[in-house]
């Protein structure tokens, strides 16, 4: 019996990085996984991999910035799997690394639309299904930069701070419905998102990675599976008394 046996889990931005690791682990632990992403090829390949391992999964194209698309896809997922127990609001982008006075409105909105509005749309359209089912778990990917800041990527840090307090507000709003809402705060995790930051850095990817390693007291950056285990805990009933919490998984970065 898996730790999330029989639960239906939606993962946004599930094709790569942390979302991908979460989809694989949730499926391994018995969940039916709705892998959603804007990347069709990578999403479908992941579903094939999960099925090859004996799990249950299906891919849906989903851009979290479109409320119509979120509504339509969640209706389809409900039709396919019969319920929605877990929502992992994972889709996120870093955006441009510029100081505040150089950022354009368009650059600011791009990050906010994915990282904040996307979480709002997906939560809004998952909650009624969870209320009908008598409970659920919403897991929001914030960041260490939802807890502390750094002198770079201002819209990203603002967006992750917003996600942290959206989680707490929704935790208070929906506790009466047995719907738990928690945020997860990763340190640097080596994923395509972070590798892309490395490619843009003047020192090059390897030097960038070494620099990131040095920021974590544990001596290295994290792997996607480190965060997937935190997501699994919140998706399972092991965390049935946990809501409005901040799960920090950061190798000691914020200690």
Instruction: Decide if residue 197 touches ligand NAD (CB under 6 A).
Output: no
Least distance between ligand NAD and beta carbon 240 (Å) = 24
Q: What are the CA-CA distances from residue 206 to residues 41, 201, 224 (Å)?
A: 28, 10, 18
Active site residue 156: yes
Name which position in 16, 31, 112, 126 contacts ligand NAD (CB under 6 A).
Answer: 16
Q: Which of residues 135-194 bind ligand NAD (CB under 6 A)?
A: 141, 143, 186, 188-189, 191-194
User: Is residue 248 a contact point for ligand NAD (CB under 6 A)?
Assistant: no
The catalytically annotated residue of 129, 156, 174, 188 is: 156
Please list, in sequence order, all residues whose beta carbon lies within 8 angstroms of the beta carbon of residue 111, skipping any fewer than 6 positions away.
93, 94, 95, 155, 156, 159
Angle, to 10 degrees, between the axis of helix 105-112 and the axis of helix 154-174? 30
Question: Which residues from 85-114 bind ligand NAD, rule CB under 6 A?
Answer: 90-93, 114
Taking CB under 6 A as the criterion, the residue among 63, 84, 179, 180 binding ligand NAD is 63
Alpha-carbon distance values, 5 to 35, 48, 104, 126, 234 (Å): 17, 20, 46, 20, 14
Cα–Cα distances in angstroms (integers) from residue 252 to residues 4, 84, 201, 219, in the given order: 28, 34, 24, 9
Strand, coil or helix: what is 173? helix
| Cβ 227 to ligand NAD shortest distance, Å | 7
Residue ranges in contact with ligand NAD by CB under 6 A: 12-13, 15-19, 37-39, 62-65, 90-93, 114, 141, 143, 186, 188-189, 191-194
């Amino acid at each position: 019996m898996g730790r999330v046996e029989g639960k239906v889990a939606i993962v946004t931005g599930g094709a790569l990085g942390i979302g991908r690791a979460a989809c694989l682990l949730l499926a391994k632990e018995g969940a039916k996984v709705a892998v959603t992403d804007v990347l069709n090829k990578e999403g479908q390949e992941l579903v094939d991999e999960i099925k090859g391992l004996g799990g249950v999964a299906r891919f849906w194209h989903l851009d979290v910035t479109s409320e119509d698309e979120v509504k339509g896809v969640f209706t389809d997922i409900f039709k396919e799997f019969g319920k929605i127990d877990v929502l992992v609001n994972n889709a996120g982008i870093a955006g441009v690394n510029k100081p505040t006075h150089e950022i354009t409105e368009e650059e600011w909105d791009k990050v906010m639309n994915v990282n904040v509005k996307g979480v709002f749309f997906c939560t809004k359209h998952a909650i009624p299904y969870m209320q009908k089912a008598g409970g659920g778990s919403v897991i929001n990917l914030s960041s260490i930069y939802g807890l502390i800041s750094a002198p770079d990527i201002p819209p990203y840090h603002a967006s992750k701070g917003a996600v942290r307090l959206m989680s707490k507000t929704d935790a208070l709003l929906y506790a009466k419905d047995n719907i738990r809402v928690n945020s997860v705060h990763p340190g640097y995790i080596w994923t395509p998102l972070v590798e892309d930051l490395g490619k843009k850095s003047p020192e090059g990817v390897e030097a960038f990675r070494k620099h990131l390693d040095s920021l974590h007291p544990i001596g290295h950056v994290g792997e996607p599976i480190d965060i997937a285990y935190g997501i699994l805990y919140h998706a399972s009933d092991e965390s049935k008394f946990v809501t409005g919490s901040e799960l920090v998984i950061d190798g000691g970065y914020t200690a």
